[in-house]
Structure 1
Amino acid sequence: MTVLLDLSEKFGDLKEATFLQRKNRFVGECLLNGKIITCHIADTGRLKEILVKGRKILVSLNPPHLKTRTKLIAAEMKEGFILLNTSIHSLIGEAAIKQGVLGFIPETLKKEVNIGKSRMDFLVDGNHYVELKGCNLREGNVCLFPDAPTERGRKHLEELIKLKEKGFRTSILLMILRDAEFFKPNAQTDPQFTRTFYTALKKGVEFKAFKVKIINSKIVLNGTVKLL
Structure 2
Amino acid sequence: MTTLWQASQQLLAGQISPETPTQHALSAIAAESGEGKRVFTKVYTAAARQQAEQAGARWQQQQPRSAIDGLPISIKDLFDVAGEVTTAGSRLLSNTSPATANASMVDRLQQAGAVIVGKTNMSEFAFTGLGVNPHYGTPANPWQRAQQRIPGGSSSGAAVAVSDGMCLAAVGTDTGGSVRIPAALCGLTGFKPSASRIDQRGTLPLAASLDSIGVIA
Normalised TM-score (structure 2): 0.27
Normalised TM-score (structure 1): 0.26
- Flag the structure with more relative contact order, 1 or 2, with Cα contacts below 8 A and sequence separation at least 6: 2
Which one has the bigger strand percentage? 1
Which one has the bigger helix percentage? 2
